[in-house]
Amino acid sequence: MLILIPLIGAIITLFMGGSKQKYAKYVAAVFTLITLVLTLFMMVNYFEDYSVLGENYAWIQTSLIQISFALEVDGLSILMVFLTALLSLLVVIFSVHDADEDRPNYFHALVLAMEVGLMGVYLAADYFLFYVMWEVTLIPMYFMISWYGGPRRHYAAIKFFIYTHVASLVMLIGIFAMGFQAGTMNGGVVDFSFATINSLMPMTSEAFQALVFALLFFGFAVKMPAVPFHTWLPDAHTEAPTGGSVLLAGVMLKMGSYGIIRVCLEALPLGAEYWQWVIIGIAILSMIYGAYGCIAQTDLKKMVAFSSISHMGMVMLGIGCLTEAGIMFAIFQMFAHGLITGILFMVCGMTGHKVGTREIPLLGGLAGKMPMYALFMMIGFMASLGLPGLVGFWGEFPLIFAFYEFLVEQDLLWMILFCLLSLMLTAGYYLWAMQRTLFGPETTKIDLTHAHDVSKCEGIALAVLVALVAVFGVWPDAALQFIEPYTEWIIGVI
């Protein structure tokens, strides 16, 4: 149902060309809103008894291969589903003015198509469907970048498209391997459903799991993206339109970490143990490398893109601990980062849109001219650097604590220094960027006469996110309660 609604919406808006294209945004808004309402309804339902909700239809049934159209929501996916529905709606609201310029019906159709794919990824309970949806997200994003993107959009779009496609194909090999292995164990019928594979895979040998884990992990790590597989991200973000960036960073990157938990951990616990130190190494590398990358950037949006790398590294760190707390707060950090990057990319998009450039050296003193803009930017940056009281802190503090606990067991306490360094750097680059863009003397290098403050629709979209950032910042348990049953279960698997 959650997939169907945006799909219908996408098709309708797609055909709203010509004179009707003005209304495309309302249609898109209505459909995303319906989806969000349904999601909330589902969350309430879930909240009542924490049971896994799902539906299952037979799809491709051959003598050898069984593929079903199975959807499922549990503690891992429910927040992601919520995030998808929310950000899609907000992107539509936020882009009301931006998208009016060039074929708004296509833009909104793409947003809705993205929503279809993303929902599909998070809801799928069958590897075939999962992979299908995984790839479905690529195409709208490709178009979004190359239609509505910046000057180097062609390069960025094709790089994004092919790089992530290669990764997903490698992942596909892993999926095949799991499917057939499960098939043999299951009496010759290759059933691609999560239930079958995830229950059979943990019984396989460590060598097999390690191999398959490597394949799958590569696919997910590119998506996350983890250093050194990240280079598509800064380019894609720099060129993507605001709405695209929000969805890309807010929800799409989470597909990677979601996959790691859902597939790699659930199905291949021995593989995870085998590669644990590699995961942690990559995670730490991402965190620090991403943070340093941020310092070096002059493009505001590119900086935020690198910060995503850094923060997703933190998610991976949580996963790498393979402890209940680690995974729990990795999921929470995914959620938190989704909300925060929403704000960040909207703000960065506004910078380019309203001021005309995102080059930090050209900016300065914008706070005087655009106070609301400055306020949102500051909240976003503060949340992202882990200021307590905002949601980012709960993705950071307990997560690093989980890592600390892990290190205590391993007797490798000094490694916590990496995390601390990354925290320090994070604060550094955000503050430095703020100093140079918002504060100081008003820039004379560019013409600011046409720079307007946040418009009403943009304000609404941002305010919703800010409110959520604050609410979950004060009351993290609201989100944790959804996650908890899941982590309790998965730790049993591991």
Partner 1 sequence: MDMTTIFGDYTAFAPMLILMVSALLLPGVQMLTKRRTVTWAFAFVMTIVAMAVNIIMLTGDFTGSSLGLVEYDGFTGLMNALFLAVLFLAVLVSNASVETTRLHVGAYYALMIGATVGMMFVASSSDLLTIFVGVELTSISSYALVALKRNDARSAEAAVKYVIIGGMSTALTLYGISMLYGLTGTTVIADIANNLTEMNWMVAIAFISMIAGYGFKIAAGPFHMWAPDVYEGAATPVSMFLATGSKKMGLAVFIQIFMVLFAAGTTCADIIGEEVQYLFAIIAAITMTVGNIVAIAQNNIKRMLAYSSIAQAGYILIILAVMNEYALTAGLFHMITHVFMKGGAFLIVGALICVGLGEKISDYKGLAKRAPFLAFAMMLFLFSLAGIPPLAGFTSKFFLFSSAIGGVDGVTSQWVWLAFVAILNSAISLYYYARVVKAMYIEKGTTTEKVKIPAAFMVAIVICVLAVIVLGIFPDAVFELCEGAAAVVMG
Partner 2 sequence: MFVEYTWLVPLMPMICFLLIGFIGKKTPEKGGYIAIAGALISFILAVLISYEYITGDAYPDPVTKSIEWFVIPGSTDFVLNLGYYVDGLTCMMMLFSSFISTLIFIYSIGYMHDQGERKNRYYAEVSLFLTGMLGLIVSSNFLEMFIFWEVMGLCSYLLIGFWSWRHPDGDAASANAASAAKKAFLVTRMGDVCLMAGLFILLGEFHSLDYTTLFDPATIALADPEMITLAMFLVFGGVIGKSAQFPLHDWLPDAMAGPTTVSSLIHAATMVKAGVYLVARGYPLFVQNPEVMLFVGIIGGVTAIFAASMALNNMNIKKVLAYSTVSQLGYMILALGAGGYLIALGMDMGGAEGATLITAGTAGMVAGCFHMMNHAFFKALLFMGSGSVIHAVGTEDMRQMGGLRKHMKITSMTMLVGCLSIAGFPMFSGFWSKDLVLEIAMEAGHDGSIWFTVMWVLAVITAFMTAFYMFRMWFMTFMGEEGEATKHCHGESPKTMTMPLVILSVFAFGSGFLILFGLDSLVSFTVTDTAFIVGGAGAHGAMYYFEHLFTNVYTYLTIVLALVGIAIAYLMYAKKSINPGKFNRNGTSMLYNALTKRWWFPDLYNQISWKLGAGVAKIVNFVDRQVVDGSVNGLSGAVVGGGDVLSKAQTGHVQDYSSIVLLGVAVLSTLFVVIAMIMGGM
Report the interface residues with partner 2, using CB under 8 A: 159, 162-163, 227-228, 230-232, 289, 292-297, 323-325, 328-329, 365-368, 382, 387-389, 393, 397-398, 400-402, 404-405, 408, 416, 420, 423-425, 427-428, 431-432, 434-435, 438-442, 476-477, 480, 484, 487-488, 491
**Assign residue 191 a region: left if phi > 0, alpha if psi is -120 to 50, beta otherwise?**
beta
Contact with partner 1 (CB under 8 A) among 177, 416, 421, 494: 177
Closest C-alpha to 91, from 391, 383, 343: 343
Q: Give least dist CB 38 to partner 2, A.
A: 28
* 182-190, 344-352, 441-449, 472-480 -> range binding partner 1 (CB under 8 A): 182-190
Residue/partner pairs of 447-454 with CB below 8 Å, 24 or more apart:
447/356, 448/355, 448/366, 448/369, 450/354, 450/356, 451/354, 451/355, 451/356, 451/366, 451/369, 451/370, 452/354, 452/370, 453/369, 453/370, 453/371, 453/372, 453/373, 454/350, 454/370, 454/372, 454/373, 454/376
Residue 367's binding partner out of partner 2, partner 1, none, with CB under 5 to 8 Å set by partner kind: partner 2
What does the alpha-carbon distance between residue 43 and residue 86 come to, in Å, rounded to a whole number? Answer: 13
Give whichever of 158 and 295 is closer to partner 1, judged by the CB atom.
158
Residue 143's binding partner out of partner 2, partner 1, none, with CB under 5 to 8 Å set by partner kind: partner 1
* 180-188, 280-288, 356-364, 485-493 -> range binding partner 1 (CB under 8 A): 180-188
Residue 138's binding partner out of partner 2, partner 1, none, with CB under 5 to 8 Å set by partner kind: partner 1
DSSP state of 193: B
Residues between 55 and 74 with contacts to partner 1, criterion CB under 8 A: 59-65
Q: Give least dist CB 166 to partner 2, A.
A: 10
Give whichever of 188 and 441 is closer to partner 1, judged by the CB atom.
188
Binding of partner 1 at residue 18 (CB under 8 A)?
no
Residue 176's binding partner out of partner 2, partner 1, none, with CB under 5 to 8 Å set by partner kind: partner 1
Q: Which position has the token pair 């398959």?
A: 212
Q: Which position has the token pair 């195409």?
A: 139
Count of residues in contact with partner 1, rule CB under 8 A: 39
* 25-33, 175-183, 194-202, 245-253 -> range binding partner 1 (CB under 8 A): 175-183
Sheet arrangement for strand 190-191? 53-61, 65-73, 190-191
- SS3 category, 96: coil
Q: Give least dist CB 161 to partner 1, A.
A: 6
Binding of partner 1 at residue 138 (CB under 8 A)?
yes
Tokens, residue 468: 């959520």
Binding of partner 1 at residue 210 (CB under 8 A)?
no
Binding of partner 1 at residue 410 (CB under 8 A)?
no
Residue 61's binding partner out of partner 2, partner 1, none, with CB under 5 to 8 Å set by partner kind: partner 1
Closest C-alpha to 432, from 339, 307, 340: 307
Q: Give least dist CB 87 to partner 1, A.
A: 23
Question: Are the beta carbons of 231 and 106 closer than 8 angstroms?
Answer: no
Tokens, residue 195: 């239930």
Residue 26's binding partner out of partner 2, partner 1, none, with CB under 5 to 8 Å set by partner kind: none
State how beta strands 190-191 and 65-73 pair: parallel
Contacts (Cβ under 8 Å, ≥6 apart) of 7: 112, 113, 116
Tally of CA atoms within 13 A in the half-sphere of 384 that contains its CB: 37
* 40-48, 83-91, 124-132, 342-350 -> range binding partner 1 (CB under 8 A): 124-132
Q: Give least dist CB 135 to partner 1, A.
A: 5
Q: Sign (positive/negative) of CA torsion 477, 478, 481, 484? A: negative
Residues between 417 and 436 with contacts to partner 1, criterion CB under 8 A: none
Tokens, residue 216: 């799958």
Give whichever of 110 and 423 is closer to partner 1, judged by the CB atom.
110
Residue 431, burial from CB neighbour count under 10 angstroms (0-12, 13-18, 19+): middle
Enumerate binding residues for partner 1 (CB under 8 A).
Answer: 59-65, 128, 131-133, 135-136, 138-139, 142-143, 146-147, 154, 158, 161-162, 165-166, 169-170, 172-173, 176-177, 179-181, 183-185, 188, 208
